[in-house]
Amino acid sequence: MWQVHHKRELSATWSACVATDVNFEPDTDRWPELTVKVDPAGSGISLLVNQRSIGRLQPVGDQRFSPPCEDYIRGNQWHCVFPQDTNAFSMKVVWTMVEHSSSHLLIEPTISIQTSLLDSQPVLDWVVPGVAVSVDLLNDSSRPCPLVQSRSSEDQRSEQSLGIVTVLSRSDASSTSDASAHVEMRLRLFGEFLEKGVIRKSRPWILIQTPLAALSREQATHWQQRLESTPLPLTA
């Protein structure tokens, strides 16, 4: 379950001590601590393992998030609502724990944005530091962005490398641009003009593996097809 901490920085930590509606194995005590942390200055939302950032959702340029006005837990989901205020857009992020085992975590952030402005182009980057392990195992030159990318991230506490795999649906990949380098993955979400009142969503899957294991084409296909077969929540 999620445990929320309302301190200077809003954050939530996943604990498998009590898990509901999640596929998980009983031997989960070896899994490192997973935390989602919101920057109070509105510069990003970080995903951390053992307090070390392994991924970050961040606005681009001079755009910022407003401080969250509401957050709550519903089952295996943590909902965070960010009002528009004086910024370019409002946002809601629902962090859903899909699977939890001693070897991997599968987490799903559903990101919804909306604006009351007539002329707005909100842009968010999903950034994962680390050396590329495998990129676009499901290669299709017609798409601007790979469906599956895997990165290696060092876990200093356990002295093991974590595998950070980002999986996109085909619809999300078609509207996402890839600005990645060898030592950093950077996917740009919502890079198009956003009409007033329209809600736009993106839902990547983030697979965290310990220890790091090379991802085969068959495994990439498995995760991508599972994501495609999971309906996008209408209320998120």
The 3-state DSSP class for residue 218 equals helix
- Please count the CA atoms within 13 angstroms of the CA of 196 that sit on its side-chain side: 4
Distance CA 12, CA 1 (A): 10
Q: pTM of the full predicted structure?
A: 0.87
Ramachandran bin of 127, using left for φ above 0, alpha for ψ from -120 to 50, beta for the remaining angles: beta
Give percent of the chain above pLDDT 90. Answer: 28
pLDDT for 19: 44
Q: What are 73-106's pLDDT values in tens digits?
A: 998 999 999 999 888 789 999 999 998 887 788 9
Write down how long the chain is: 236
Q: What are 157-172's pLDDT values in tens digits?
A: 555 678 888 999 988 8
> CA 157 from chain center: how many Å?
23
What is the secondary structure of 78-118 as a DSSP string?
EEEEE--TTSS-EEEEEEEEEEE-SSEEEEEEEEEEE-SSS
Cα end-to-end span (Å), the chain: 18
Query: How wide is the angle at C-alpha 202 spanned by C-alphas 190 and 137, nearest 5°?
Result: 100
- H or E stretch including 181? none
Higher per-residue confidence, 191 vs 37? 37
